[in-house]
Amino acid sequence: MVPEVLDGWAALHQIFSVDWPRWNAIDGGEKAAMVAGAAAYFEKIAGAEDGESAVFSLLGHKGDLLFLNFKKTLDELNKVELAFKRLPIYSYLTETTSYLSFLELGLYEMTIKFHGELIAEGLKPGSDDWKARWSAEMAEQRDRMIGRLFMEIPFLRYLCFYPMSKRRGEVKNWYGLPIGERQMMMRDHGMVGRKYAGRVQQIITGSIGLDDWEWGVYLFAPDPHVFKELIYEMRFDEATVWYGEFGPFYNGLRIQPGDLAGVLNGA
């Protein structure tokens, strides 16, 4: 049985490295003008009603800036991406990677419970009545969770992002397990996360068919130590021990558009 999911914001982040030798060599006035243009653009789209954007200063060699965007459609994400590429400052940046996904809420428990209810009522899977009842239930679930599907980007200082997939190896294959086993493991996995409520905010995005990994995990917190604590503890739950595969980790600091000059010019 395939668990239902609900999709919200279309999400895209891009990671850039600054060409520091070229950037440092240009005239201060020219740099100031380009930074001002980029800051004005970030300010313009930061709190748009149709989806927010945010900028982060990254730590380490994997990149210098992360540009995160939530929009309602891929078309709108494409417009934001192309508009940024037209800015003069873009010629001093190299895009090292990006990640495309949709904010996702998994409905394991609802899928199992409602499936059982319809069977108990005598409905046949795939029948017109079954499809109508299922469609109505999904619409109700979407209305109930609309605030989580289209949530704001948490306004917290630190960000940790990593992509992940579920293992599909010869010995352990997440997708070969019965849905009941998967549901129990995901419930236990979620219980670990709930222990950190108030210390970290999490956004899970689904990227199957959109990017190289299956999910993207965004963690936001006022204290970055919680990232290590949370992810370390989750390493020991069954869903992660046997079935978790992780990509590279990225950590950064949330900056306001007006802070961009300080990041790029040290001013």
Active site residues: 162
The 10 Å CB-count burial string (b at 16+, else e) for 41-72 is: bbeebeeeeebbbbbbbbeeebbbbbbbbbbe
173 — phi, psi (to 5°)?
-135, 105
Task: Report the distance separating Cα 103 and Cα 151, nearest Å.
Answer: 9
218 neighbors 151 (Cβ within 8 angstroms): no
93 neighbors 66 (Cβ within 8 angstroms): no
Task: Report the distance separating Cα 54 and Cα 43, nearest Å.
Answer: 9
Give the three-state DSSP class for 83.
helix
Instruction: Give one word for 122, left, alpha or beta, with left for phi > 0 and alpha for psi -120 to 50.
Output: left
Task: Report the distance separating Cα 120 and Cα 130, nearest Å.
Answer: 12
201 neighbors 194 (Cβ within 8 angstroms): no
Query: At residue 267, what is the residue type?
Result: A
CA distances from 86 to 16, 96, 162 (A): 15, 18, 28
205: β partners: 103, 216
